[in-house]
């Protein structure tokens, strides 16, 4: 599981995908999320602006990412 380190108390899903390198741009992230390819804490999430907090887990393309505070 890869870590996504954030400074604030939350990050939006689209931003987290970009920060992790899973999406090359915000447009890519938007399409992945809208197409139902991204899960948050085991459930498909189609909200690009969904706020993620420490210990939330993103699943995308057989990889998992966990949100951690710096």
For 38, the domain range is 2-69
CATH assignment at residue 63: 3.10.290.10
Tens digit of each residue's pLDDT, the chain (70 residues): 999 999 999 999 999 999 999 999 999 999 999 999 999 999 999 998 999 999 999 999 999 999 999 9
pTM of the model: 0.92
3-class secondary structure, 46:
coil
Angle at 29 (CA atoms; ends 21, 6), nearest 5 degrees: 50
Number of domains within the chain = 1
Q: CB atoms < 10 A from the CB of 38, how many?
A: 25
């Amino acid at each position: 599981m890869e870590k996504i380190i954030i400074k604030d108390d939350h990050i939006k899903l689209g931003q987290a995908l970009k920060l992790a390198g899973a999406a090359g741009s915000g447009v890519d992230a938007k399409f992945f999320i809208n197409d139902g390819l991204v899960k948050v804490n085991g459930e498909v999430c189609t909200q690009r602006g969904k706020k993620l907090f420490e210990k939330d887990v993103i699943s995308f393309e057989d990889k998992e990412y966990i949100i951690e505070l710096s």
